[in-house]
Every structure is written in structure tokens, then in C-alpha cells.
Amino acid sequence: MNPEILKRIASSSRFEVKAFEGAVILQGRILSPSEAESAGLLTYLLASQITTKEDLQRMQAIQKRAETIEEATEENIDDILSEAKKLGFSPDALSAFHEQQNRVICQVVRAGSTDNGETFTKLRFVSAEEQQNPDQSVLWVGLLSNKDRNSILETAMSGHKEASKRIAGFCQG
């Protein structure tokens, strides 16, 4: 076996995304096809319980609105929740959806860099604010912006497709 090919294959299971307005580069692993399928299926099942085609369009508009909010206040959170209630979202389904996303983020992020990727230190996200300990590189997942969350989730869930393409190139070349 050629160890260099194996190292290149192994490295294709990793990703990097900028977070916290570019102050930190997060390093993580992509989800395996079965993990991505499972996470995607749960998202689909949760969405299908609470939406119609029109609701999906309205939900996208609500999401865009939520992503443009600079600072969460009780008033704008209440406005978004009010809009979501009009769509028939059950608080339990919405909570389950976000919990699933949080689990994926906590599962895939492995390290962080604050020096533009020169060095990476082990970093872990946790689901409860009380578990946060910055001195031990443990952060609460709730600190991530919607933009950062979406970037991590999208990269982790779709990364296996890109990795497969790269691996095929390694094995042929």
C-alpha cells in the first residue's frame, strides 16, 4: 500500500470553514454518506410534518429574515416565532429540528485556528451553555451565527460527494 495515497484519501474527509466573522477557522470532518443520509432524512421528516409547498416558500423568507438580524432581541424573536406559528410549526418539531442540527455540529467540529490556519487546537462544541469552558476550548453551539451554522452543516453534509470525487482522482493519478 502506498501510504501517501492513504494519507491523501484520509485528508479528504476533513473540511475547514471560517466562523465568528472570520476570527476562527473551524476544522471538522465530513459526515459519512450514511450519517448525511440519516441527518437529511430526519430533517425531511420533520419538515414534512409541518410544511406544505407554500409553507416552505414562507419558511425560506422567514429564514432569510432571521439571517439578516444583527442582534437577537425579544421583539424580533417573537416576530419570527409568530410567523412560524402561522405556518403551523409545532414548537416540539422546531426544537427537534434545531437539536438535530446542534448534534451534527457537535459531532463534526474537531479543531479551531485563530491564526489564519497556521496552527489548529482541539476545539469542541457542546449543546448546553453550562458545559462551555473556553479555557479548555469547549464552546456552546448556541454561540454560532445562523450563517456559521449553515456553512458547517452544508459542508459536513455534502462533503462526502466532493471527497468521493477527490479520492477517485487520487486513485487514478
Q: How far is residue 62's CA from residue 41's CA, in Å, rounded to a whole number?
A: 22
21: left (phi over 0), alpha (psi -120 to 50) or beta: left
Report pLDDT for 45.
Answer: 61
Q: Is residue 79 part of a domain?
A: no
Measured at the alpha carbon of residue 107, what is the angle toward residues 114 and 62, in degrees to the nearest 5?
Answer: 85
pLDDT tens per residue, range 119-171: 999 999 999 999 999 999 999 999 999 899 989 988 888 765 554 555 556 55
Q: Is residue 164 part of a domain?
A: yes
Q: Is residue 85 part of a domain?
A: no
SS3 132: coil
Q: How far is residue 129's CA from residue 147's CA, in Å, rounded to a whole number?
A: 20
Q: Is residue 41 part of a domain?
A: no
- What is the DSSP code (8-state) at residue 117? T
Q: Which range of residues forms the domain containing residue 113?
A: 3-32+90-172
Q: Is residue 64 part of a domain?
A: no
Q: How far is residue 52's CA from residue 21's CA, in Å, rounded to a whole number?
A: 34
Amino acid sitting at position 153:
L
How many Å separate Cα 70 from the centre of its chain?
A: 19
Stretch among 4-8, 35-39, 110-114, 120-124 having the lowest mean pLDDT: 35-39
pLDDT tens per residue, range 72-119: 677 777 777 777 667 665 667 667 778 888 999 999 999 999 999 999
